[in-house]
Amino acid sequence: MNRRKSSANGFTLVELLVVIAIIGILVGLLLPAVQAAREAARRMSCSNNFKQLGLALQNYHSTYKQNPINAGGTGLGVGKGGWWEGCTTTNHEELSVLVGLTPFMEQQGLWQQISNGGVATVASPTGPAPTPSGAWSPMGPNPRADRGDMSDQFIPWSTEIPMLRCPSDPGVGRPGRGRTNYAACLGDSFNQIWDNGPKEGNLAPAPDDWRPSVFAGTDRGYFSKRKVTKFRDILDGLSNTIAMAEIVSDLGDRDKRSAISVENGAWLVETNPMLCVDGNQIDPEEPQFWCDGGANCTNPPQISSNANHSRGMNWAWAAFPCTSVNTIRPPNSETCMNGWFDNVGSLPASSRHQGGAHILMGDGAVIFMTDSVEAGDQHAHVIAHDNRPGKKSPYGLWGSLGSRNGKETIEAQLNQ
């Protein structure tokens, strides 16, 4: 009888290894594509948030016939000598643009808490508030949270609003008091007295002296400080002027965009916006970060990082680092300030997206502006009261988009 040889069907070890290798290669090719698709979705969501903010700005102006005030609110508390002091009874005119926009971006409940005060605190829903009366005053306390006065117990100031967060930014929670990735544009200029605005340190109207004229010479943005702006003030046109820009929030990693080089000297950064770069403060081996004891660079005088007052860490506070940008240095450049964190300096737009950041134009259009935007002479002295007031921006297209009345002609098609 003839018997057939039985043969087992299956993969050999070599064939199995080849198949596994092919699957590994395909997965390796697929994962970056998946990650890129996810970032594209996050970037789209980030842009949509900005569009909603643009609509809120338009509705605010339609209602009140002006823009929300940057650094507005109630005056000094009893016994306080300057806006920089902590206070639980008034907010020292330190409220950001974003506070006034809350009822126009579907945050009516939060606006009610802000405008009515109440007794609830972060620690206790039944209070009492850490004030002499046991209740918060309408419009809340000073939102700065670095004075140890427990003003951060005011619930709205510690509330993180989803619409103010870009999904690409992983920063969350403390030491932030309620982070934001969107900031008001103050134009293409600044000077040392911008921390006060056109007022005195005690928030009294400035007398007819040097302060109003110095401030006016550099007041060139869509938003000002402690001063009302309206659509009529945007002489370059709403579609040609940046109203707000994207920023990153601080992750505590000495990133040059979010950790801030401070104490660089009064009047110096506006004289040379490249001061921190020329001072070799950026690590050449890791150019995304500040020098940290490296042999080939110089440590910044001081770094304001991983704190409630660093970049994007307090949506309610009008402090320059938290909720403001200017259009001097291109997007994703270093943050470099004259004095302390509540002073002034060069604070560019920034983002966690690749190659640029979103900007919101005055007409509500959202544009992705690349890091390589034409930015003129980066060593040029900012325009000031004694330095070509009213002239075109020295910072090219980028500076021109920041100025509200520089009389520049914008020829680039920004929304293509």
Sequence ranges of the domains in the chain: 163-416
The count of other CB atoms within 10 Å of the CB of residue 283 is 19
Q: Are 70 and 119 in contact (CB under 8 A)?
A: no
pLDDT for the residue 10: 63
How far lies 307's CA from each of 174, 254, 312, 316, 341, in Å?
A: 8, 12, 10, 15, 11
Phi, psi of 40 (to 5 degrees): -60, -40
Q: Please, which residues have CB within 8 angstroms of residue 65's CB and are 6 or more apart in sequence?
A: 230
Residue 30 in 3-state DSSP?
A: helix
Q: Are 93 and 72 in contact (CB under 8 A)?
A: yes
pLDDT for the residue 257: 92
pLDDT for the residue 399: 93
**pLDDT tens, residue by residue, 367-380:** 999 999 999 999 99
Residue 86: both structure tokens together: 């902590």
- Number of Cα atoms under 13 Å in the Cβ half of residue 74: 20
Low-confidence ranges of the chain (pLDDT < 50): 1
pLDDT for the residue 193: 82
Residue 349: both structure tokens together: 């737009």
pLDDT for the residue 42: 81
pLDDT for the residue 11: 64
